[in-house]
Structure 1
């Protein structure tokens, strides 16, 4: 039985030759977030960290391209996602990239008790949604993050500092719609030095466009324009 038959949907092949850094050929199973502008922005931030020989964790790994990217740069990489399909996708893309990644299924750090890392990277769900409850199944699970988009962000700000070694770094990417100031504040309250290291303006994606009226009603998006800011928050454990 093929992967497509097992999962009940098409397996998408993504080619990203335009990306810097490029991800090459990537397989995306149904319900898994495909690499986009936020993925590329975080990949570039990872490249600047000189990760060779470091223990790196990709939290909410999704497609696994960031985990494979860090491994390609010489890191010892673990990856975690709560979605079974994301876990399988991460494993497949690590194999395609010919990189070793230790992949775990779990809720954030729950599957790695007591582990610590030199670098934690995360591109979690962060899109505000018209419902507070997080979806447990379906494609929306890859991006919906509660009314303010912070359901996962706030939890990561709480747990990631505990798993960082002294001098360790957290790289966290999300939309400006989801409150970068709140992320920086929470990480500073946890004792980290934190700030925005990268910013880029990109067109609103199809999910944001589909709920643009609702986002504007809540004051999360301005009345004009069809772009959003993506940011990478860099935080260092003292």
Structure 2
């Protein structure tokens, strides 16, 4: 059954699949509490729910929360969907696993924060508009032994992500790497990325990474 993904909602892509592989490697007990932040159409939230987890899915877009609710209903999975900015709807809660596939492709400077559909694609000039917030805020929502699984492009600084998570006291490492052909967004920004030195004219692929960060018990 195809997932409902209306215009402006990030559909499942290669990064979603890579993060789903990492999710499948996690030894989650039945009933584990899982947070899927920036859920989009809810694909990862549904994968976690099928593993027997109690899943909360969050997105800032009302279209995305609608899509996630519809897809959970179609799949017969009890996913709790909340609309809000990153971790705002779950302050004071704790989770065994946090899944995050935020916007990460560097974007040309613009006036003000991204709005509408651009929120799914624009990640600031260095691609870290939300990545740095996740590194800062996610550790406080993890239970002892809890894990953050985060996917993003090598263009947006995996070493910075690792450094920030380790500085927060987490054990962080890259657990997945995959090179993929340029998608629509990256193709549209290719000239600008080359001007910034993030790509060369010969590049045809980008590298995705999944970072696993665990809060010690």
Instruction: Tell me which interval the TM-score lies in, with the shorter structure as reference length.
Output: over 0.9
Displacement of 1:222 after TM fit?
Answer: 2.6
State which drifts further: 225-234 or 104-113. Answer: 104-113
Structure 1 stretches of at least 4 aligned residues deviating more than 2 Å after TM superposition: 50-53
| Alignment of 1:134 onto 2:113 | yes
Structure 2 gaps, min length 5: none
Displacement of 1:90 after TM fit?
Answer: 0.7
Equivalent residue pairs, number? 214
3-state SS, counterpart of residue 181 of structure 1: helix
Deviation digits for residues 130-156 of structure 1 (CA, Å, limit 9, x no counterpart): 01543111x222111100110000000
| Alignment of 1:148 onto 2:126 | yes
**Aligned twin of 1:113:** 91
Displacement of 1:53 after TM fit?
Answer: 2.2
TM-score scaled by length of structure 1: 0.88
**Aligned twin of 2:23:** 46
Displacement of 1:184 after TM fit?
Answer: 0.5
The within-5 A match list for 1:1-238 is 24-51=1-28, 52-132=30-110, 133-137=112-116, 139-238=117-216
In structure 1, distance between residues paired with 2:188 and 2:74: 33
Deviation digits for residues 36-86 of structure 1 (CA, Å, limit 9, x no counterpart): 000000011111102232100001111101001100011110011111111
TM-score scaled by length of structure 2: 0.96
Displacement of 1:171 after TM fit?
Answer: 0.1
**Root mean square deviation of aligned Cα:** 1.0
CA contact (8 A) 1:134 1:144 kept: no
